[in-house]
Amino acid sequence: MKVLSQNQAFGGMQGVYAHDSSATNCQMTFAVFVPPKAVEEPCPVLWYLSGLTCTHANVMEKGEYRRMAAELGLIVVCPDTSPRGDDVADVLTNWQMGKGAGFYLDATEKPWSDHYRMYTYITEELPALVGEHFRVDMSRQGIFGHSMGGHGAMTIALKHPDRFKSCSAFAPIVAPSTADWSAPAFEKYLGSDKAAWRQYDACALVEDGARFPEFLIDQGKADQFLENGLRPWLFEEAAKDTGIGVTLRMHERYDHSYYFISTFMDDHLKWHAERLA
């Protein structure tokens, strides 16, 4: 693991690191904030998954999580959203496909399957690396994310309820199999058999029997992607009568940007800290 940068913040350390990934077959970059409490004892870890077009840097620079994470004693890990490199397949004219749009799945179709194995990277390789190099209590893990990252967080939590104690999302894509801006990417990554898509679709996972105790979802009513991409009410409907708790908060005048995310970031960190205590 290579250290790209380290900066003191709120008594803790914000670092950016790179490593050669066997899951994605390229070099990956990720960010980790370690709170001051980690000097004394292992701390719970919170995974933040970013949205389309983003890297690890978007939430690190605009998410405003460090002050509260330092206060609550949370390690926050921010991975990249896709594989990177000159030999990685991409679609330069489509921001919903390729680099920056890994959708946290393992692609099965060529040429995407050569590198786009973000599900394995997030659930297996990166946790092993973080557990080796940082003072984390792996028995206390939470996961959250924004947009495409909210989709990733919710599907990963639903598939690993034994690992994660908390999950939340900002403006998540809850039904990517039928959303205008994700279904075309799913077909290219996973093929035309839609049955294969269900394992990466939060609503479909619940319909197929997956369970997780509860979710916190924040959504801006002025989000330009609300009607054709996000549709969080579909998850609320899918979870009805399943025993899954869904707290869906709709906010007037908030859009899809990091102004929205940073406004409610403290709420999400506190939500996770209560469940990771």
**By C-alpha distance, which of 58, 75, 91, 94 is closest to 14?**
75
Radius of gyration of the chain (CA): 17
What SS3 string covers 76-140? Answer: EEEECCCCCCCCCCCCCCCCCCECCECCCCECCCCCHHHCCEHHHHHHHHHHHHHHHHCCEEEEE
**Beta-bridge partners for 169:** 145, 217
Question: Of 21, 147, 166, 168, which one is the catalytic site residue?
Answer: 147
| Choice among 201, 223, 268, 272 that is catalytic | 223
Q: Can 223 be counted among the known catalytic residues?
A: yes
Is residue 256 annotated as part of the catalytic site, yes or no? yes
Element spanning 169, H or E: strand 164-170
Q: Is 106 a catalytic residue?
A: no
> Which of 115, 151, 256, 268 is the catalytic position?
256
Rounded Cα gap, residues 149 and 152, in angstroms: 5
Annotated catalytic residues are: 147, 223, 256
